[in-house]
Structure 1
Amino acid sequence: MDWITHDEDVWFDFRGSSPEQLTPGRFYKGTVDGFADFGVFVDLAPGVTGLLHRSELDRRLESLDWESGDTVFVQVKNVRSNGNIDLGWSIRQSESEFRGAHVHDPDGDEDGERIEADDGGPEPVRKTPKGISTESRATNGTESGDELSADATAEQKRVEAEHDETRESEAETVEPAETVSAEPDVVEATTSDESAGVEQSAESHEAEGTPERAAAEDADEGTEAEETAERTEGPAAEPERVTVESLGDRTGDRVRIEGEVVGARQTGGPTIFEVRDETAVVDCAAFVEAGVRAYPEIGEGDVVRLDGEVELRRGELQIETEELTELVDEAADAVEQRLVDALSAKARPETVEPLADHDAVAAVTEQITDAAEAIRAAVLQSRPIVVRHAATADGYVAGAAIERAVLPLIRDEHSRADAEYHFFTRRPLDDPVYGMDAATNDVTRMLQDNERHDEKLPLVVLVGVGGTTDSLDGLGLLGVYDASRVVVDADAVDTEVVEEASVLVSPSLTDTGAADLSTGALGANLAAAVNADVTDDLSHLPAVSYWEDTPEAYRDIAGGVGYDERRTRELREAIALEAYYQSYQDKRELITDLLFEDGGGLAGHVSQQFRKKLDDEVATAKANVEARTVDDVDVAVLDADSYSHRFDFPPTSLLADTLSRRDDSAVTVVYATDELFVRTDADIDVRAVAGAASEAVPEGGVTAVGVRQNRIEFLSGARETVVDAVVDAVVAQI
């Protein structure tokens, strides 16, 4: 029978993420994070730090033989409303002294599970903790500490009294020193590639070189040690300005960096500022008192100069901030220009090699390079990327190709396990138009994320859905908030879109044109420019995107990597079926399995369902097609409301496509309650068709929407007369 234990008899391994999840009264295993004259900071979990005040100890703080990084046991006494954690002393400082151990995992399945005992216990303590002077520890051979100076004893009693009465003020705020205006020369980086661009993720605070240590030393100002230092060393020398990528060789040095604040978060101890210069990003810890925001006037986007000491926290670099100053005017402009130049140089692909020999792609190589630079720069800036594409096989191929290229870059840039979900979103569109509905959704989300999480406004990449005037309102709404917009489209792009797009990729605006280019093929070529390392993964995608007349160059490269015509057809059909169901969901893992991880079994299974559903529907539709002849032109007309299952696969647009491919009629018109689709091999202007039909049936509310699909909307009450007018207008253009 298991021994029944109480919380006081065991220690807990806390695996939560916020102070509110702790249970007062329990003993927890933690890690010594830092020291001050008023106590010890202990990490209970990443970002969850408590204070063990010296009044809670059973001995003098100076005699506590702990060091930063030591494993210790403490009791949670109280969690305050502001998130500060009051810790209590535990006389038991090894696992063997407790009757057991359990997991405290508030959000996980392991909560309450037993932990096997570790006979080794916590790491043995080694030496006097940093930040406690040897002079303040001296007792002239006594244990009571009676020989402490009168000033020190008075200070200790004052702090203990304040702690007992309010439990709110553990340290005195240190005012930043005067801003140093001189700007020394930059020290060139000498580290290897391995040390460059390291993402810093330290959540806690090292005491050495921090403001609270300075506060502790100020409290004892006039001691012999400080007087000696002042006489011998004089004022501290102004640190050199260095680049972040060079910090790997500067542990323990006082340095100066200049850059942009790209993030600021408050922990239970210090405030952590993420500062990016022209080379990389580094975490900088600034401390006023536990849980209190340091430098509240400094926020994301500010250009700053920061002086501090380089530390190594749990294997990752961090700067302990001594002085942080916002730069303005010419000083800020100079730093910003360095950042822009460095970002452009790092983000812009050195070369862009098309996946295959295709004139339409070769004509837009420079445009592809610009779009790739914008996407890569967003990753480097920790800016979210939102990809919008049509919920079609062609649209999914293009969107998934870009996703395949970007996700590895995000994983390289960020250490967070969920970074790829946080910084990249693919949102399919049921209609191939970026209208106000989609734009309002995106703007609402980005403003919420900006307000709640200080997240940057995203880069929006519109693949095959933003190239017509139907999308102008949506593009304009993004523009109001200055969100960058990359438009990638293989079809004809309206000239009005050129002014609204930050970057535009479309062969239709070149002399070459894009008659045989699919959006999926163009998206795959862009993806290869974004990340050349995934080129082999993308080789078969262009062939998958074509329903018919696949360019020979794309068939060849697909065949070269094991995707013959049967496999590419099965993939195309499988993607088309999955695109229909849950059309607003990205289905990231399923699409990845189909396009990149499948040996043929999954795609073959899904494509069988595609063909059965489509063949059954087409057979029913063909039996009910109305055959017309207008001015010697054969026209097939289908009432989809009456002779198809409107709320099941296939969608009306795909049904119209298939009927057109399988019927000999020159024109196919498939209509439903208030919309119709025109299919013909002839070159028609669907806007002109809608205009002519509107003149013929002014009460019909006829308008062209979704121009890419040759789709026209109308009022259902005028359906029959509108269909006749559209047929006449189409035939007139042939």
Structure 2
Amino acid sequence: MTTDDDSGEGGPPVVYDLDPDCTVEDVSEGNYYRATVNGVVDYGVFVDVSESVSGLAHESTYEGSYAVGDDLVVELTEIRENGDLSFDPVDVDDYETEPVGHDYDVADAGELGDEIGATVHLEGEVVQIKQTGGPTIFHVSDETGVVPCAAFEEAGVRAYPEVEIDDVIRITGDVEERDNALQVEVDALDVLAGDEAEAVRGRLTEALEARAEPHDVEPLVEWPALAQLLPDLESVARQLRRTVLESRPIRVRHHADGDGMCASIPVQLALEKFIEQTHHDPEAKRHLFKRLPSKAPFYEMEDVTRDLNFALEDQARHGQKLPMLLMLDNGSTAEDVPAYENLAHYDIPIVVVDHHHPDPEAVEPYVDAHVNPYLYDEDYRITTGMMCVELARMIWPPITEELRHVPAVAGLCDRSKADAMTDYVELAESEGYEESFLRDVGEALDYEAHWLKYDAGRNLINDVLNVGSDDEQRHRELVEFLAETARSEVDDQLDAAMPHVEHERLESDAHLYRVDVENHAHRFTFPAPGKTTGEIHDRKVQETGDPVITIGYGPDFAVLRSDGVRLDIPEMVSELDEEVVGGGVSGGGHLVVGSIKFVPGMREEVLDTLVEKMADAELDEELQSTVVGHEQDD
């Protein structure tokens, strides 16, 4: 700001102490300034009043002598047309000092494309600090985006070691292009404090809240059951967008099946598009988003231990914040709680979007958001893929055209019998996807998920689902090949297993089929025990046309399928754990599909008790043919 001349009027004179970043625009003729001698010549001394404001005090204006480094008070007597400044040393003993800050023309981090080669000022929050073999890279976030700023002390040495993540800073530097990305080469960096810092934080917070707002999009189909979940999905979209703007990484854990991938792939594409828009660093997508499949339909301790270890390593190595955990198509049950308790020791928010039967009292103390149709008296017919397509569109609407077929694939993968399935299939057909081909896409997704195991298989899965892919012919040919191969391998598996299926008729008149998938099916190949059981179940449902329950079991596990029988598998699991002492029973799933684990020595007692409970279950024609046949558990 420009200083006004009020020295000597009505009190002691005012001597201005300029901020180092002050320019000639911040000074006025006739004012007194604190100065430092920076050079001595025959005809006078040169003085600095800031890092960029200097001038000459002619020898005729003072008596005695000065040396480099001497401090003195000077009066600015003239600002010449050529920009030179003239000063006179003054002798004042009793004066008031008034600090002067620079009125910065602050640039926007997101608008630096036209500033290459120019010197700019930035104000923002430090969201990441990465030490390289050369400079220190400070990632600075303001109202418009995030930009990397490189400060060099010496090779591999931390520049500005006093700066920490979440500090509000002011940077002066030159905008340069490095590897086709913008970067600011730091000339000066100051940590702001007090009112200055609070003013910047307030400005950033207000802008961040506005930019985090999700887009208002019309659902792909009109469906009241899903519509009541949209406010919860909007809240999650807002939290995800804000997380990106804060440069906090997002780690997605999803069930490794068709619905899980139909949920996670659209969200991944939407968030990566948003990251590209808001971050200049071309590596930001890789650092800020990772999708990780989970073989079990819950968050296992093995998975959380890996995730936490990688997160802490990234924090130490790359200066990242700890991530947000986004659980898709899993995360709603008591089985997830031990993993959540592990994360509770760290600053890791948890958000869940799922359609498995939940244990809200167990889960919700640990999660920041929980979206589940059961919380609205709906059920698994609203699949996670259906919900997440709407979530992705709220984050980044332009991807809508790529996603119109995905809810139908998700519903067919999980055998949803919701009334809205007709609308979803018709929507996909309008985009050129016939229903038989949509089923093939689901089969191909399950097949690839089996062989990928813990690998996300990003590019391959994108080609199979035709999201984020650019080769329609390859997509068609790939799906047809994978689906045909999967069906052939299912047939081979069932040729071996079907002769060993045991049958009995329950008192309710439902059919009960049992098969030892450990000893009477091929191991370590496709299909896994869960899908093998589901395929056997589907054949028996088609063969009998009656209510059917199928149990596929091994030494310490059982996979359960029900059709036309009103089971509550999560409740049965809870009862088994209490009634079979020493059984070590755990598990869960939907009302009519699930899996349980137990100790091998108690298998017979666990299965016998389970069958007794199933025999008491009521038949329900409304549940006929609504089994979620593709839920798998290895």
Q: Given the two structures, how large is their TM-score scaled by the length of structure 1?
A: 0.65
| Alignment counterpart, residue 359 of structure 1, candidates 221, 224, 242 | 224
Work out whether residues 667 and 678 of structure 1, in 8 Å CA contact, stay in contact via their aligned partners in 2: yes
- Quick one: structure 1 residues 221 and 339, their matched pair in 2 at CA, closer, same or farther if it must change by over 3 Å? farther
- Quick one: structure 1 residues 318 and 487, their matched pair in 2 at CA, closer, same or farther if it must change by over 3 Å? same
Distance 2:283 2:218 in 1: 31
Gaps of 5+ in 2: 1-16, 23-35, 48-53, 58-78, 80-84, 88-98, 619-634
By how many angstroms is 1:325 displaced?
2.5
Deviations 1:412-468 (A, max 9, x none): 344555443332211101101013221111111100110111112112110011111
Q: Does 1:569 align with 2:445?
A: no
Deviations 1:295-342 (A, max 9, x none): 211122212244x365566795736434513425x6544433332321
Q: Does 1:661 align with 2:538?
A: yes
By how many angstroms is 1:675 displaced?
0.7
Distance 2:385 2:308 in 1: 26
The alignment partner of 1:586 has SS state of: coil
The amino acid that maps onto 1:715 is V
By how many angstroms is 1:670 displaced?
1.3
By how many angstroms is 1:374 displaced?
1.9
Distance 2:451 2:562 in 1: 27
Aligned residue for 1:685? 568
The alignment partner of 1:698 has SS state of: coil
Work out whether residues 170 and 192 of structure 2, in 8 Å CA contact, stay in contact via their aligned partners in 1: yes
By how many angstroms is 1:487 displaced?
0.5
Aligned residue for 1:703? 586
The amino acid that maps onto 1:623 is P
Q: Does 1:475 align with 2:332?
A: no
| Alignment counterpart, residue 234 of structure 2, candidates 344, 361, 369 | 369
Aligned residue for 1:646? 523
Q: Does 1:723 align with 2:607?
A: yes
Work out whether residues 666 and 680 of structure 1, in 8 Å CA contact, stay in contact via their aligned partners in 2: yes
Gaps of 5+ in 1: 1-176, 183-216
- Quick one: structure 1 residues 572 and 310, their matched pair in 2 at CA, closer, same or farther if it must change by over 3 Å? same
By how many angstroms is 1:276 displaced?
2.0
Aligned residue for 2:429? 559
Work out whether residues 586 and 598 of structure 2, in 8 Å CA contact, stay in contact via their aligned partners in 1: yes
| Alignment counterpart, residue 500 of structure 2, candidates 617, 624, 642 | 624
The alignment partner of 2:440 has SS state of: helix
The amino acid that maps onto 1:573 is E
| Alignment counterpart, residue 483 of structure 2, candidates 607, 613, 625 | 607
Figure out how many residues of one structure are paired with residues of the other and give that number. 521
Q: What's the % identity of the aligned pairs? A: 32
Q: Does 1:533 align with 2:398?
A: yes
Distance 1:251 1:592 in 2: 36
Work out whether residues 693 and 729 of structure 1, in 8 Å CA contact, stay in contact via their aligned partners in 2: no
- Quick one: structure 1 residues 580 and 304, their matched pair in 2 at CA, closer, same or farther if it must change by over 3 Å? same
Matches within 5 A, 1:288-687: 292-306=157-171, 308=172, 316=182, 318=184, 320-322=186-188, 324-328=190-194, 331-496=196-361, 497-511=363-377, 513-545=378-410, 546-547=412-413, 548=415, 549=417, 551-596=421-466, 597=469, 598-599=472-473, 600-631=476-507, 632-663=509-540, 664=544, 665-681=547-563, 682-687=565-570
The alignment partner of 1:499 has SS state of: coil
- Quick one: structure 1 residues 259 and 411, their matched pair in 2 at CA, closer, same or farther if it must change by over 3 Å? closer
By how many angstroms is 1:652 displaced?
1.3
- Quick one: structure 1 residues 237 and 721, their matched pair in 2 at CA, closer, same or farther if it must change by over 3 Å? closer
Work out whether residues 399 and 523 of structure 1, in 8 Å CA contact, stay in contact via their aligned partners in 2: yes
Distance 1:225 1:557 in 2: 81
By how many angstroms is 1:240 displaced?
1.6
The alignment partner of 1:641 has SS state of: coil
| Larger RCO of the pair (alpha carbons < 8 Å, separation 6+) | 2
Distance 1:660 1:368 in 2: 34
The amino acid that maps onto 1:671 is Y
The amino acid that maps onto 1:732 is D
The alignment partner of 1:350 has SS state of: coil
The amino acid that maps onto 1:630 is L
Work out whether residues 389 and 428 of structure 1, in 8 Å CA contact, stay in contact via their aligned partners in 2: yes
Q: Given the two structures, how large is their TM-score scaled by the length of structure 2?
A: 0.74
The alignment partner of 2:238 has SS state of: helix
The amino acid that maps onto 2:372 is S
The amino acid that maps onto 1:622 is M
The alignment partner of 2:382 has SS state of: coil
Distance 2:257 2:445 in 1: 8
